[in-house]
Amino acid sequence: MDLVVTLTDAQLEAIAHRVAELLAAERPSEPAAEWLTVAEAAALARVTAKTIYRWRSEGRLTADGSTGRALIDRPELEALLAAGPKLQARTAKPGRRAPSDVFARMARERRPERASEGVRGEP
């Protein structure tokens, strides 16, 4: 027992359209990866492009270079930034003082000189 159904082109098109709608509704939509240029990533992070390149070389960020330019994954950058300011702060190299320590020491060393100068206008 064979069942033969003859459909018009309009009916076939309507069925195909409805099937496509149903398949699209069943598929979970994948979030599109958002890629940033180094300049855009630097602006978002409020750092220089040099810092973005440094973070890449340190392994803190990965980049897609398949397009011929370095593209930074935005969610990855946002996760790095959410980790806190300690990741953004530059630390001194072993055996060296951090710049803030050097300036603080210089300020402490200059204070006694100014105190010995006396009040303004006095010798």
Q: Quick check: helix, strand or coil at residue 45?
A: helix
Domains of the chain, each with CATH number or no CATH:
33-86 (1.10.10)
CA torsion, ordered 49, 38, 96, 79, to nearest 10 deg:
130
How far apart CA 13 and CA 113 sit, in angstroms, is 91
- For 70-103, the pLDDT digits (tens) are 889 999 999 988 886 555 445 445 555 555 565 6
Select, from the ranges 47-56, 101-110, 113-122, the one with the highest average predicted confidence (pLDDT). Answer: 47-56
- pLDDT at position 43 is 92
